[in-house]
Amino acid sequence: MKTFTNIFLGLFIFEAILAAPTIHTLTYDSETYDVALEDLDNLYDYDENIHVDHAENDSSLRQFSGSLEYLTSAPSMSTKQKEAEEEASTPKLIDGSSPHEPGVLGPQTHDGLPTCLLCTCLGTTVYCDDHELDAVPPLPKETTHFYSRYNRIKKINKNDFANQNDLKRIDLTSNFISEIDEDAFRQLPQLQELVLRDNKIRQLPELPPTLTFIDVSNNRLGRKGIKEEAFKDMVDLHHLYITDNNLDHIPLPLPESLQALHLQNNNIQQMHEDTFCKMKDVSYARRSLEDIRLDGNPINLSKTPSAYMCLPRLPIGSLI
């Protein structure tokens, strides 16, 4: 019995050791950038068309494309199967994709390499960090998270994210972006997190109201880079980071959902008594906004003593 237990334990440890590196490689970087657990589940689920487990009944089987269809369509041929077979016999690229339909390695980049060969695709997350890219590569349709940090992208075009209906997070930290097309992000129905820090952006384009997290720190927004009422309709926005931008005002109005507003190292010189609170409504409380940073601005917070009454905490900044 003891031997049995030892063998069992040994196997268990062995498996744990085998499993460990996988988990390690998936834990990307800091805690904010961890791959979600659901991505682990999706790891082998990337192209559902060639995934046998999804063939729950005959009619879904017939919808298979690619070589699997070719093999399974032999005995009795319906019209649908014939069509699929014709499709299967069109030329296939190395990864199983045809020029018309992207395969498991994603669509082709302009270098002729599929995106998931150039970058790394894990589940529905695409990692293109540090690849000397000078443009956003075409993304697989199902992409939910896109990381392209430390590249050389200069411009975000209107079509770079066209029809990316599942995209939730875009991270383009540390590129050379100076220009973003006005329509580049507007049409993304699920976009929640947009990270554009450490670039050269002068003007923020129209942003979708679904955003919850925005980081455009260390850019060149200056006095005109943010549109009037740019964040007004973002009813779920909780983090807004615009540090190091030479901003000369606090962008208003701020949505009620906001929890953190980081504006340090800008050129903000004054603030209104109504910036955060409502002078006419003393019972008003802005409970969520706990973290306001105004340090590194030429502003004297002591000049507007009643501007913080509705806040759970005083802003951080110069009081003298």
Ligand X SMILES: *[C@@H]1O[C@H](CO)[C@@H](O)[C@H](O)[C@H]1NC(C)=O
Binding site for ligand X (CB under 6 A): 56-57, 59-60, 300, 302-303, 320
Q: Which is nearer to ligand X, 57 or 283 (CB)?
A: 57
Please report how close the Cβ of residue 78 comes to ligand X at its closest, in angstroms.
14
Write the Ramachandran bin of 96: left for phi over 0, alpha for psi from -120 to 50, otherwise beta.
left
Q: Which is nearer to ligand X, 55 or 135 (CB)?
A: 55
Q: Which is nearer to ligand X, 25 or 78 (CB)?
A: 78
Q: Do residues 97 and 85 lie in contact, with contact meaning Cβ atoms separated by under 8 Å?
A: no
Sequence-separated contacts (24+) of 38-42 with Cβ below 8 Å: 38/123, 39/122, 39/123, 39/124, 39/125, 39/145, 40/123, 41/123, 42/123, 42/124
Q: Which is nearer to ligand X, 127 or 276 (CB)?
A: 276
Please report how close the Cβ of residue 64 comes to ligand X at its closest, in angstroms.
12
Q: Which is nearer to ligand X, 120 or 300 (CB)?
A: 300
- Cα atoms in the 13 Å half-sphere on the side-chain side of 261: 26
Direct distance between the N- and C-terminal alpha carbons of the chain, in angstroms, rounded to an integer: 75
Please report how close the Cβ of residue 316 comes to ligand X at its closest, in angstroms.
16
Please report how close the Cβ of residue 175 comes to ligand X at its closest, in angstroms.
38
What's the farthest any 2 CA atoms get from each other in the chain? 85
Which residue has the CB atom at the shortest distance from ligand X?
A: 300
Please report how close the Cβ of residue 63 comes to ligand X at its closest, in angstroms.
7
Burial class (CB in 10 A: 0-12, 13-18, 19+), 184: buried
Q: Do residues 177 and 157 lie in contact, with contact meaning Cβ atoms separated by under 8 Å?
A: no
